[in-house]
A and B are shown apart, each in its own frame.
Chain A
Amino acid sequence: MAHKEVIYGLYDDETDLLKAVKYANKEHLDIMDVFSPFPVHGLDPLLGLEESRLHIAGFVYGAIGTLTAFLGMTWIFTKDWPIIFGGKPYWSVPAFIPITFETTVLFASIGMVVSFYTVCGMGPGVSNPTLDDRITDDKFCIAFDGSHMSSSNAEAFFKATGASEVSSKVL
């Protein structure tokens, strides 16, 4: 991965962060990313983030799980190895429903986790450096790409919007 310089400012409060993002939008500044210890209400539309498509993938995985379980049991209990349980017919739909439901949930959840990790480039042995450890605790961070933004401009922006600290890091 190519190294790049990131200039970032830390804020003490999420309301300051929201104001700063609004200010950056007004000035047409290109924010690289925003980090916060918890989801900040109203941040996504300000950053112009698209709605995640993860749930569509989840639906597809779930549907695959439903079909796998239902058709699988149908085949096993009617063709492959028919057994009479409690005097019920071979093709006992009500008895299949709980397992179908559980397989749906299993496929959807595992599928979504794997998709999410793949899209985010996460996995065993992958390191994800943080700009500052405190953004997982009590600091809110706006980061600019150093190649798109001069450090003097960035500092002026952070000063105008009340950031408590300004720093830069090469990732």
Chain B
Amino acid sequence: MHREGTHTYNMPGGLRTLLFGGMIIGLICLVLSWFMGDDIHTRFWTNLLHNGVFFTGIALMATFFITVCVTAWAGWHTVFKRVWEAISMFLIPGSIIMFVFAIAVFLHMNHLYHWADTSEATMNDTIIQGKSSFLNTKVYLILGGIILAVWCFFATRLRGLSLDEDKNGTLEFTQHRSMRWYAAAFLPIAGFTSAAMIWLWIMSLDAHWYSTMFAWYSGASLFVSMICLTIIILVYLKNKGYYEEVTAEHIHDLGKFLFAFSIFWTYLWFSQYMLIWYANVGEETIYFRERLDNYPILFWGNLAINFVLPFFVLMRNDTKRKFGSVAFVAVIVLFGHWLDFFQMIKPGARHTAHEHLAHAEHHGGDAAHHLEHAAHHVGTAFEVGYSIPGFIELGTGVGFLCFFLYWTFSRLSKASLVPKNDPYLAESLHHHV
């Protein structure tokens, strides 16, 4: 059944060169974005935040799904669980990037967050002051740092136990029993902390606005992206002759997750939109007013790519079982959710930056008047890099993706592709839907 030499993965030199090339492109784009746009480098900071959150979130979702499967006593995924373990390891570099970002926020090196502003206007802003016990730079840095450390701990611990099971696993399944404890502990922790982090990182970019559905909405987006990347990596590895044990049955299940959670994402998208539309409270509608008026391509494109396409393509049974069609949808939907995060981040940050610049320009004058002026007339025109992603954004995205894939593949090559001694391995090898 097993072919020799396909048990462990070795990253070929060609792929390594390709991924390093992509990382260099990303780095060049990041450096270029520093010198483009406004004086406070909004484009650079938003691109860093966008890709940092997106790929760190995907790694968190991999950890989350491992713990879900362990807790649910699921066995279908066991044959390729190393891929999720490898993806979850991106939490380490991702956390470092996000922590460095948090230090930059703490030191006021960027001006993405309205609540981090120390001007008099913000100090007198009752809405922002009302949220200031959570939205402040200390919480952003310290609570954020603690949460990231907790995520990294669980991800490393779970992978460590799984790798130990390969070497020292017995019929007592001590490692798996231990994983159940860690998994059960991680689930509520992940539930609350992921919401807190997404509020800090993204929702607070629109500091006046809030949505109780936001954490679920962005979480669903990240989950779909994680499934997309899993499918892409598995289909790639199968094409290279690895993972003969992964069959159409496993891909079918992943395709079902992609289909189902794309619909779940749409459900949350719609619920968030409709509740805010229906209640028509100014504090809430501003988020959608801004996007509908000034970012229509992003707003409607998001729904078309992430709902219409996977819904109609993956509805049939056989498109979920063919590697080509599933991988095709996975690539497009991954880009779609990257775009979704782009439209969550850019408008709010752009607005804050314009307010900040207008305030700095007219410092000492009739600040309040100019602030209002800035808020209504500046920073809403079509602009590449905000209204749609430009080459700089795409390049940065490619760079982060290559970094992510390089990290994943190098973790993947550290252990046997198919785990040994896992109690659910036999079930997974004979998986049939």
Contact = CB atoms under 8 A, between A and B. Distances in A.
Interface of A: 41-42, 51, 55, 59, 86-88, 94-95, 97-98
Nearest to A97: B270
Given A42-B432, A51-B317, A55-B317, A86 B274 contact: no
B83 to A, nearest CB: 25
Contacts of B432: 41-42
Contact of B280 (A41, A42, A51, A86): A86
B315 A94 contact: no
Nearest to B279: A86
Interface of B: 270, 273-274, 277-278, 280, 315, 317, 432
Describe B's contact surface by its main secondary structure. helix
B280 A94 contact: no
A65 to B, nearest CB: 15
A41 B280 CA distance: 52
A87 B280 contact: yes
A7 B273 CA distance: 62
A59 B270 CA distance: 22
Q: List 6 A-B pairs, minimum CB-CB distance, nearest first.
A: A41-B432, A94-B274, A94-B277, A97-B270, A94-B273, A42-B432
A59 B317 CA distance: 13
Given A41-B432, A42-B432, A95 B278 contact: yes
Nearest to B276: A94
Given A86-B280, A94-B278, A98-B274, 11 more contacts: A41-B432, A42-B432, A51-B317, A86-B278, A88-B278, A94-B274, A94-B277, A95-B274, A95-B278, A97-B270, A97-B274
19 contacts: A41-B432, A42-B432, A51-B317, A55-B317, A59-B315, A86-B278, A86-B280, A87-B280, A88-B278, A94-B270, A94-B273, A94-B274, A94-B277, A94-B278, A95-B274, A95-B278, A97-B270, A97-B274, A98-B274
Most buried by A among B278, B280, B315, B317: B278
A95 B279 CA distance: 12
Contacts of A55: 317
Contacts of B273: 94
B288 to A, nearest CB: 11
Contacts, number: 19
A98 B277 CA distance: 14
Contacts of B277: 94
Contacts of A51: 317
Contacts of B280: 86-87
A40 to B, nearest CB: 10
A28 B349 CA distance: 71
A98 B270 CA distance: 10
A59 B315 CA distance: 9
A51 B273 CA distance: 39
Contacts of A59: 315
Nearest to B273: A94
Contacts of A94: 270, 273-274, 277-278
Contacts of A41: 432
Nearest to A52: B317
Contacts of A98: 274
A95 B270 CA distance: 11
A100 to B, nearest CB: 11
A87 B281 CA distance: 13
A42 B432 CA distance: 8
Nearest to A51: B317
Contacts of B274: 94-95, 97-98
A42 B431 CA distance: 11
Contacts of A86: 278, 280
A42 B433 CA distance: 9
Nearest to A87: B280
A59 B311 CA distance: 12
Nearest to A56: B316
A22 to B, nearest CB: 16
Nearest to A42: B432
B313 to A, nearest CB: 14
A41 B249 CA distance: 12
B175 to A, nearest CB: 29
Nearest to B318: A51
A143 to B, nearest CB: 25
A51 B317 CA distance: 10
A103 B300 CA distance: 24
A42 B317 CA distance: 16
Contacts of B278: 86, 88, 94-95
A67 B104 CA distance: 52
A72 B395 CA distance: 47
A21 to B, nearest CB: 16
Contacts of B270: 94, 97
Contacts of A97: 270, 274
A88 to B, nearest CB: 8
A88 B280 CA distance: 10
A87 B279 CA distance: 11
B250 to A, nearest CB: 15
Nearest to B430: A41
B173 to A, nearest CB: 25
A95 B280 CA distance: 13
